[in-house]
Structure 1
């Protein structure tokens, strides 16, 4: 899948309690889990992986 995808929030899909904070922290990509938007990419998949391995990271898993 290429390009940007627009998703409209509705009663069936909601923002997590930390959605705005994840945007401020640089979230670039989201997935839908249990009808909720959760961030999956911040700096890029490789950089995010190495941050998990070598640093401290916080993830919105509410």
Structure 2
């Protein structure tokens, strides 16, 4: 990874960044080739809102 700068990255090393990149690409590939039905946008947004509400400081 040419020009790697830990100042501009959340990773401490090039190896950490490359490891994350490989993991992320594998997750995307799995999702793109999945034959399972998708979740409607409105349903996902409702699920996220519920998580936000559950974790909101009281």
- Could you tell me the TM-score, scaled by structure 1's length? 0.25
Name which structure has the greater RCO, CA cutoff 8 Å, separation 6+: 1
Structure with max Cα Rg: 2
Using structure 2 for the length normalisation, give the TM-score.
0.26
